Amino acid sequence: MSPQGHAPDRCRALLVQLSTYVDGELAGADRRAVVAHLKHCPCCQAMADGLRHTVETCRKAKAARLPADVRARARARIAALLAAEAGK
């Protein structure tokens, strides 16, 4: 087995850093250790890919906007507020 390869203790220790790595917030020696480990450990690589996919799925959920009736009520509230303030 490669010194960087799959080993339960090492994998467990790196697991807590995977989210930080996926977010690109891991730096220096920590980041190099994760990159080296992923090259030799298919289990952790699959976990990293899964986390990345999960993050992408969540980000797609924002691609929707208000229903037309809710948007209309929101616009009406804004108009009423600005009109009331203008009248003061």
By CB under 8 A, name the binding residues for other proteins.
Answer: 16, 18-20, 22-25, 35, 47, 50-55, 57-70, 73-75, 77-78, 81-82, 85
Minimal distance in Å, beta carbon 24 to other proteins? Answer: 2
Minimal distance in Å, beta carbon 70 to other proteins? Answer: 6
Minimal distance in Å, beta carbon 63 to other proteins? Answer: 5
CB-side exposure of 70: number of CA atoms within 13 Å? 3
